[in-house]
Chains A and B, each alone.
Chain A
Amino acid sequence: MDNFTYDRAGSVEDAARAGAGGAAIAAGTTELINWMRLGIAAPEAVVDISGLDLRGIARDGDVLLVGALATLNEVGTSDLVRADAPVLAQAALKAASAQLRNRATLGGNVLQRTRCPYFRVEAANEARVPWPCNKRVAGTGCAALDQPFSRAAILGWTQDCVATQPSDPVVALAALDAVAEVQGPDGAREIAMTEFHLSQEEGGLDEETRLAPGEVILGYRIPVDAASRGSAYLKVRERESYEYAMVSAAVCLDHADGAIRSARVALGSVAQKPWRLSRAEAALEGAALDEATVQAAMDAAMEEARPLPGQEWKPRLAANAAARAVMMAGGAI
């Protein structure tokens, strides 16, 4: 870990300017400090935004507003979030551990990087990175391609990288059709959370999100509707708590009388972005809310998956998780 300067941002503008100049924006620092300790990042300057007024959670008409500095515990225990977007509350509370959730912010969460163990190797400098990892040392190759770790992507990956985005909240935000409000040195804009992250196919090796340098996430606008209020999150993992997902599924479901009016389904930890199952969503519109119908739609959706050798079970797991999450949202489980 190298020396760095530390400043507190007095305003979003301050932070954006510093960020555009190369400073690392620090919120809860639960990711940033890990990167610095592992040798993944060595910023010369850090600008701390944790004192800015971006923490609130409020309802504005049909929109739920969640500030970027709201912690995962605040999001998860908020009555508003639990009522209007339970999928987000559940995803937040299933992330990390209680201690981390007290610091980890929803702004920082969507910018966390992959848990690929090759990428996360402890190496104080590039010369000590023991294996190829294009994300760690550009141009070295991808060690995970031939020796896949179990959390490798099954969608959207390229020969250059098979890493996934491991966040739970991003899956919920994508299913909710949430929009991130961001402000950069050149002004503010909105980014749909279904578009925010980029697969390797879309972004190549260098671009993992559409956020530009210096852009600060101010918060998220979440449209509240029957489907968001009837939403659910399923996280599948070996360890019951304090572990990233093997796969996860977020579902917003509007249904009545055993029939689905509309369903929005996103899978997590299967790609470098939350993966909306648009085909399945279309197939389920108007369909019966029963296990066989839902499972068939998910199985069909997973036909596009490209698991690495030895991971043929993973698309099946993803389909099963998505189907289960729909039934959960439908109150059947």
Chain B
Amino acid sequence: MTVEAKVRDVHHVDVGVNRLIVTPDGAAVDLPATGIGSTERRHDGDDKVTGAAKYAGEELPSGTLHGVMVTSPVARGSIASIDTAAALAAPGVVRVITPDDMPDLGAASVPPAAQSYMPMADLTVRYEGQPVAIVLAETLEQAEAGAALVDVRIDARDPVVFETAETVVPETEGNGYVLGALDPARGDFEAGFAGAAATVDQVYVAPTRHHNMMEPSATLAEWRGGELHMHDSTQWTYGVRYALSGMLGMEPGQIHVRCPFTGGGFGAKGYVWPHQVLAAVAARDVRRPVKIALTRAQCYTDTGYQPVVRSRVALGADADGKLVAVAHDTESVSSQFDDYIEFGNAGTRSLYPTPNLALTTRIRKADVGTPTAMRAPHEGPGMFALESAMDELSYELGMDPLELRLANYAEVDPANEKPFSSNRLREAYAEGARRIGWADRPMEVRARREGSRLIGTGMASAIMSTFRFAAAARVCLTADGAVRVEAGTQEIGTGTRTIFPQIAAERLGIDAEGIEMVLGRTGLPETGGTFGSSSTISVGSAVAGAADTLRNRIAGLAGGTVPPRDQWPDLLRRNGVSELVGEGGFQLPGDAPFDAHGCAGDHSMHTWGAVFVEMEVDEALGLARMRRCVACYSAGRILNPVTARSQMIGGIIWGYGRVMLEESAMDPRYGRYLSQNLSGVHLPVNADIPQDIDVAFIEEHDPYASAIGVRGIGELGEVGVAAAIANGIHHATGRRARELPIKFEALMS
């Protein structure tokens, strides 16, 4: 069998699409054989698994120099001297760039620049791992050897870390990381809490974690005739253009960014980090293409992280379980130079109504790089706290945890009283409860034992903001009858090369197979970044619009009705048209470039889920394992059930990692992460994950969020998993774990 044939074989393994989409009444929806809603296989799947797909790091134009960054081993200090003589004398080393060689750079707005501080622009060390010099050599090995020879002397000082920093109110003025009010409040929390029949007041900690994407960030910068060409592994081609244009003082149109495939990002490649700027600066300096591929260790310090979030949650309920008081105070770490805000109480704003609310959002500024968004930002770490506290409250009340959620069901968005664009959370709860067998769950803890293991089930709600970006797209019909979809968006592993042709196909009334998708390039119609679960909603709507335009133009040429597809080449030839183009766009109210959860319109937009897990705990050995997971979602229309299912499964595994394994522990004395490699930082492996992850979407068509009925799903899958697992462990053992990841000592008898 050829590799391709083998790959095809694997593709046809049954992934269990039965009951993947269910009606609000819980009846299975039959999936169409083709078009939107069908289980169309990934168009780029074969290319990816056979290695035919070319990633940024694989670009190597002739004459390319390899750049290796020398980074600071200390977190705080100032550079006393840099001696490059030994490095320059090493074989193959062409140039060593130090802060002395840096041109004056302009400022870029943050975001798209990920942080306001540009290393090497001065002699200060503001975080461990910050670049202090770059060695350029003919081969990677020579550049690495040269980098080891650069003698950097740093006057080090004791670093400030999250634990030792002061808690401050983040600056909101001119801060691009402000996504909402810091301290929403209503009613009188203290009075409500004092009068509650049952209360919970606890602290929950979700630690700093890294994206740990498979492909480390890689950039290749090449100057041609005064214009800059970047081959970049990014989640936002246009963002790279804008950030570099600000810093290099160039017209945006002089900067061209290409990124046909991105090997995962999870947020690490959303904004623009110093190495991307340094590659461009270095390439201009030596007049040769320069490639900088981060080492795995550099991925821990040079492309952001999800900051630790410490949440204090206080809930008060009346005897019926209605929330009469809710407080959620969060503190997260940020750098000394940017006030990045992890809105840990984002989910608390819109999930449950309460008359008395008091939320605060604070940061602690430490000697670390600026954090960045990571799947799932804000709601991810914060919902662990809220949904753990809800479980605790249910035990204070003696009320079933699911009943407690239903007693506090939000019919409209509690944050602003707006109706939801569409919401099927109630049905998701019901479907999930049916599948896991929730009705048979005893309320008491430590009720089920199998040999040395205690078994328990837990649940949690999930909620995620809906982010939308303005987007444009083009659908073209060429003389030979081929259809091509064009948009500047990215493919980061989610399946955009499959989804967008499917959308165009439906609108054009043709098969998606064979529709070419051209993406990952500035110059193509502009879109936002592939983050915030926003690509399908935004770019998909633009593609639908473009396909509609094209269809109308085909109909126009044919005198009113669209002829069968096989007649399209002939139609074009007869009319002397070499290519017919339809343009489309996705506009937001007030022509805003960006909207979060429908702020700009009359409807509130979120996605929801109900996550149920069965856990087993071996108390003698301090081990917990997930046996089953059922997760049902309300996320708008599902365009492709199998790519959607893989997003959710990936999110659930991501969530399992958050609760049971992942932590980027920092030694506070040195301000350095203890491990900067995948041997010391544990991500889940297949053996951790049960085969039985049962995902379902409630059939839904959201008429407001997009032109195609969808909302976003990419981040939702991670939300709620941590709390469901911690709650399941509590049910099994009676133990509450309020600090993640859950460690041996928290589980041992």
Q: Report A's interface with B, CB cutoff 8 A.
A: 1-3, 39, 115, 117-118, 120-125, 127-131, 143, 146-147, 149-150, 236, 238-243, 246, 313, 316-317, 320-321, 323-324, 333
Interface secondary structure of B, over-half rule: loop
19 A-B contact pairs sorted by A residue (CB < 8 Å): A115-B680, A117-B675, A120-B679, A121-B676, A122-B677, A128-B73, A130-B73, A131-B672, A143-B669, A146-B669, A236-B621, A236-B622, A238-B744, A239-B685, A240-B688, A242-B685, A242-B687, A243-B682, A317-B621
B677 A130 Cβ-Cβ under 8 A: no
Known: A122-B297, A333-B451. 12 other contacts (CB 8 A): A1-B144, A120-B680, A127-B152, A143-B670, A147-B667, A147-B668, A147-B669, A236-B623, A238-B660, A239-B688, A241-B688, A243-B682
A3 to B90, CA, bound (A): 11
Q: Is B96 an interface residue (CB 8 A)?
A: no
A243 to B684, CA, bound (A): 10
Residue from the list A124, A241, A317 in contact with B686, Cβ < 8 A: A241
Q: B469-492 toward A: CB 8 Å interface, digit per residue (1/0)?
A: 000000000000000000000000
Lowest 6 A-B CB distances belong to which pairs?
A124-B148, A241-B687, A240-B687, A130-B73, A320-B620, A313-B745
B682 A130 Cβ-Cβ under 8 A: no
Q: Is B151 an interface residue (CB 8 A)?
A: yes
B667 A143 Cβ-Cβ under 8 A: yes
Q: Is B175 an interface residue (CB 8 A)?
A: no
| Known contacts A236-B623, A242-B685, A316-B748; A149 and B674 CB within 8 A of each other | yes
B621 proximity list for chain A (CB < 8 A)? 236, 317, 320-321, 324
| Known contacts A120-B675, A239-B688; A317 and B748 CB within 8 A of each other | yes
Task: Determine the residue in chain B with the shortest Cβ distance to A321.
Answer: B621
Task: Determine the residue in chain B with the shortest Cβ distance to A312.
Answer: B745
A122 proximity list for chain B (CB < 8 A)? 295, 297, 676-677
A131 B667 Cβ-Cβ under 8 A: yes
Q: Is B28 an interface residue (CB 8 A)?
A: no
Q: Is B294 an interface residue (CB 8 A)?
A: no
A2 proximity list for chain B (CB < 8 A)? 145, 148
A123 B687 Cβ-Cβ under 8 A: no
B618 CB to closest chain A CB, in angstroms? 9
A125 proximity list for chain B (CB < 8 A)? 148
Q: Is B48 an interface residue (CB 8 A)?
A: no
B674 proximity list for chain A (CB < 8 A)? 117-118, 149
Residue from the list A146, A240, A321 in contact with B625, Cβ < 8 A: A240
B684 A317 Cβ-Cβ under 8 A: no
A130 B451 Cβ-Cβ under 8 A: no
B701 CB to closest chain A CB, in angstroms? 40
Q: Report B's interface with A, CB cutoff 8 A.
A: 73-74, 128, 141, 144-145, 147-148, 151-152, 295, 297, 451-452, 620-623, 625, 660-661, 667-670, 672, 674-677, 679-680, 682, 684-688, 741, 743-745, 748
B684 proximity list for chain A (CB < 8 A)? 239
A171 to B452, CA, bound (A): 24
A147 to B668, CA, bound (A): 9
A127 to B669, CA, bound (A): 18
A130 B661 Cβ-Cβ under 8 A: no
Quick one: which of A2, A320, A323, A333 has the most chain B CB within 10 A? A320
A127 to B70, CA, bound (A): 13
Task: Determine the residue in chain B with the shortest Cβ distance to A143.
Answer: B667
Quick one: which of A2, A121, A146, A324 has the most chain B CB within 10 A? A121
Task: Determine the residue in chain B with the shortest Cβ distance to A2.
Answer: B145
A155 to B680, CA, bound (A): 22
| Known contacts A129-B73, A333-B451; A313 and B145 CB within 8 A of each other | no
A124 to B149, CA, bound (A): 9
A129 to B670, CA, bound (A): 11
A120 proximity list for chain B (CB < 8 A)? 675, 677, 679-680
A143 to B682, CA, bound (A): 21
A127 to B152, CA, bound (A): 9
Task: Determine the residue in chain A with the shortest Cβ distance to B148.
Answer: A124
B608 CB to closest chain A CB, in angstroms? 30
A130 B670 Cβ-Cβ under 8 A: yes
A313 to B295, CA, bound (A): 36
| Known contacts A117-B674, A122-B297, A149-B674; A313 and B128 CB within 8 A of each other | no
Task: Determine the residue in chain B with the shortest Cβ distance to A236.
Answer: B621
Task: Determine the residue in chain A with the shortest Cβ distance to B297.
Answer: A122
B353 CB to closest chain A CB, in angstroms? 39
A150 B743 Cβ-Cβ under 8 A: yes
Residue from the list B451, B669, B670, B685 in contact with A240, Cβ < 8 A: B685
A250 CB to closest chain B CB, in angstroms? 16
B685 A241 Cβ-Cβ under 8 A: yes
Task: Determine the residue in chain B with the shortest Cβ distance to A151.
Answer: B680
B376 CB to closest chain A CB, in angstroms? 22
B129 CB to closest chain A CB, in angstroms? 10
A238 B680 Cβ-Cβ under 8 A: no
Quick one: which of B128, B141, B685, B686 has the most chain A CB within 10 A? B685
B74 A130 Cβ-Cβ under 8 A: yes
A326 CB to closest chain B CB, in angstroms? 13
A265 CB to closest chain B CB, in angstroms? 16
B685 A123 Cβ-Cβ under 8 A: no
| Known contacts A115-B680, A130-B74, A236-B622; A124 and B147 CB within 8 A of each other | yes
A266 to B667, CA, bound (A): 32
A246 B744 Cβ-Cβ under 8 A: yes
A238 to B679, CA, bound (A): 13
A333 to B151, CA, bound (A): 58
B743 proximity list for chain A (CB < 8 A)? 150, 238
A123 B622 Cβ-Cβ under 8 A: no
B660 proximity list for chain A (CB < 8 A)? 238
B152 proximity list for chain A (CB < 8 A)? 127
Quick one: which of B152, B670, B686 has the most chain A CB within 10 A? B670
Residue from the list B151, B452, B744 in contact with A313, Cβ < 8 A: B744
A121 to B680, CA, bound (A): 10
A149 to B665, CA, bound (A): 10
B687 proximity list for chain A (CB < 8 A)? 239-242
A238 to B297, CA, bound (A): 22
A333 B452 Cβ-Cβ under 8 A: yes
B151 proximity list for chain A (CB < 8 A)? 127
A152 to B375, CA, bound (A): 32
A243 proximity list for chain B (CB < 8 A)? 682
A238 proximity list for chain B (CB < 8 A)? 623, 660-661, 682, 741, 743-744
A1 B145 Cβ-Cβ under 8 A: yes
Residue from the list A115, A118, A317 in contact with B744, Cβ < 8 A: A317
Task: Determine the residue in chain B with the shortest Cβ distance to A125.
Answer: B148
Task: Determine the residue in chain A with the shortest Cβ distance to B668.
Answer: A147
A321 proximity list for chain B (CB < 8 A)? 621
Residue from the list B661, B669, B670 in contact with A239, Cβ < 8 A: B661
A127 to B86, CA, bound (A): 15
A240 CB to closest chain B CB, in angstroms? 4
B680 proximity list for chain A (CB < 8 A)? 115, 117, 120
A115 to B676, CA, bound (A): 13
A236 proximity list for chain B (CB < 8 A)? 621-623
A121 CB to closest chain B CB, in angstroms? 8
A68 to B471, CA, bound (A): 61
Quick one: which of B668, B674, B676, B687 has the most chain A CB within 10 A? B674
A236 to B744, CA, bound (A): 10
Task: Determine the residue in chain B with the shortest Cβ distance to A39.
Answer: B148
A117 to B676, CA, bound (A): 9
Quick one: which of A128, A143, A321 has the most chain B CB within 10 A? A128
A118 proximity list for chain B (CB < 8 A)? 674
A35 CB to closest chain B CB, in angstroms? 13
A3 to B145, CA, bound (A): 9
A324 proximity list for chain B (CB < 8 A)? 452, 620-621
A122 to B451, CA, bound (A): 43
A243 to B451, CA, bound (A): 25
B622 A313 Cβ-Cβ under 8 A: yes
Residue from the list A127, A130, A149 in contact with B672, Cβ < 8 A: A130
A251 CB to closest chain B CB, in angstroms? 15
B711 CB to closest chain A CB, in angstroms? 34
